[in-house]
Amino acid sequence: MPAKPKNDGAAYKALKQDLKAGTLGQLYIFHGEESYLRDFYLGEMRKKLLPAGMEEFNLHTLAGKDFDVKKLQELVDCLPMMSERTLIVVNDYDLYKGDKEALVKVLSDLPDYVCLVFVYDLIVYKADARTKLAGVIKEKGKVVAFNRQGQNDLVDWISRRFRALDHDIGTEDAKYLMFLCGDLMNGLISEIGKIGAYAKGHRVTRADIDAVATPQLDAVVFQMTDAIAAGNFDRAAAVLGDLFHMQEAPIKLLAVLGKQLRQLYSARLALEHRKGTAYLMEQWGMRNSYPAEKLMNAARRFSLSWCRRAVIRCGEVDLAMKSTRADGEELLVAFLMELAAGPSSRA
């Protein structure tokens, strides 16, 4: 089962209730970053609406690139076969860029036997509230956002996934896994599978995670800045060398490093004003407390002036990379050495 969102929207709650009561409506818009949840609930709709063995006759799909209102009308007019409902799924079609007037006519008069779902995966759903189409969607359907999960719910979900593999994992290690590999469930599933297959003991350890998990770029760069905060320049240089070996573009690395330096500056400001981890998480929209705690600990090792100077210098290096023919790797290495010299000015 998927984790429950930290903040259920009304449409999300209504969808769950519709599924539980067997009262699915005629029109839904599915969008949001959390594709695992979206696919899960789309699968539950298929189970609820379509009798086993009859999916081929009662499930109709249409790709956005092939979308045509006439085709949609034809699918809507297809009566169900040995079933009470038909399910029509339209993938990645921007409702507000097509023939809105024609769509209004179709959506305003959907038969009771039809359940039509527009799924946004590769494109972003952007409604235009000024249009008649938006009014019809609001009146006839539900716009369901599948958003990234809150920390506590995702930790619970990670724990359940490991239990299904006959393992367990501590809360802090689950949060570390989220930090290392991201907080989207589809990505975490494959990592949990790898870790579960690798771990020898019943309890998953940090060493098990580090041994086989594939870290996201932000987490790797964080290891570099964390090493600088600890005064371990050799470790920081080794991480940067690994990133170069992976052929990561210097300008991309600088962008990630710049974000983390700005976060470090924010953390130092938070300390100056006697604010805590929760404040930093709110300022940066963090769902996982692990990186926020690491940033607060690192910020204690640097002065406010050092943090401010690091952010300014990062901007200057970025400008040099973009406006000169200087070697990006050399600029980044020099900047790293400059940062490493900074701890002498710690508070």
- pLDDT at position 98 is 83
Report whether CATH 3.40.50.10090 matches the domain 217-345: no
- What pLDDT, on a 0 to 100 scale, did the predictor assign at position 343? 53
Euclidean distance between CA atoms 36 and 42, whole angstroms = 10
The predicted pLDDT at position 326 comes to: 81
> Measured between alpha carbons, how far is 302 from 36 in angstroms, rounded to an integer?
40
Distance separating alpha carbons of residues 310 and 243, to the nearest angstrom: 21
Domain-wise residue ranges, the chain: 10-145, 151-212, 217-345
- Cα–Cα nearest to 180, from 199, 146, 208, 156: 208
**Low pLDDT (below 50) residues in the chain:** 1-8, 344-347
Place of tokens 């959390």: 34
Q: pTM of the entire structure?
A: 0.81
Instruction: For the domain made up of 10-145, give the CATH fold.
Output: Rossmann fold (3.40.50)
pLDDT score, position 200: 95
Contacting residues for 184 by C-beta, under 8 A, at least 6 apart: 33, 34, 35, 36, 148
C-alpha 217/C-alpha 181 separation (Å) is 9
Question: Which CATH fold topology does 151-212 show?
Answer: Helicase, Ruva Protein; domain 3 (1.10.8)
